[in-house]
Amino acid sequence: MFSLQQKIAVITGAGSGIGKAIALLFGKQGAHVYVTDINKEQADATVQEITNNGGTAYSMICNVAKQKEVQETFAAFDHLDILVNSAGISHIGKAEDTTEEDFDRVYNVNIKGVYNCIKAAIPLMRVKSGVILNLASVASSVGLPDRFAYSMSKGAVVGMTLSVAKDYLKDNIRCNCISPARVHTPFVDGFLKKNYPGKEVEMFEKLSKTQPIGRMAKPEEIAFLTLYLCSDEAAFITGNDYPIDGGFIKLNN
């Protein structure tokens, strides 16, 4: 079950965090994984880890915010089976203290980056069929404090997911998204070190307990849900957003 044998999979943001966990798992399941990231060193490290475990992987260095760059990168394929849009950035701030520069930066990666990759992938998926999986967030479903631009961007990801799922039903292209709550990635550790020096452990525990289940998710747990939704076992599933949130949306009251 859940074999991706011989499937060609592009995973953006796969140099670290959730994207890396997805790339490693897809490699184990037999996919030809194209580790797509803006950071060559991190992308190469992910590729090395996949190949060391007997998988097949290649680095693709690409800034998803640049449409011309994305189009040129995807031109290397004659078909594509799976696209996982994992690349994303965060931002802390309310509407009044979010600068135009910060807003544009979040928009360019989290919204335009997803659009650019979808636009490039769809013609390649029409050849046979395909699956697109986008990473949204619980921020698209509930109000989070100080997350104006980030919440905006993830709401757009859900909207794009539904639109693509509807428009490409007849092309046998499925499109879903998942909405994680807090996930323990290097980004979290870096955020705590920068904003709460000397109080990292205390703040980590505080953030962990905002999930009713009492902890943050592991990147591997997000990868398992992604694997299911991108596998043939999920062939009847399209046009959905799946929370993976330790009860955050429904039980946090």
Specify the DSSP element, H or E, that contains 196. none
**CA 202/CA 249 separation, integer angstroms:** 24
Place of tokens 């205390």: 202
- Say which DSSP state 30 is in: T
Q: Are strands 173-180 and 241-244 parallel, antiparallel or unpaired?
A: parallel
Quickly count: other Cβ atoms within 10 Å of residue 46's Cβ: 25
Name the residues annotated as catalytic: 150
Specify the DSSP element, H or E, that contains 253. none
Instruction: Please answer whether residues 240 and 15 qualify as being in contact, where contact means their C-beta atoms are separated by less than 8 angstroms.
Output: no
Place of tokens 């967030």: 137
Q: Write the CA distances from 80 to 127, 128, 143, 198, integer angstroms.
A: 8, 9, 36, 46
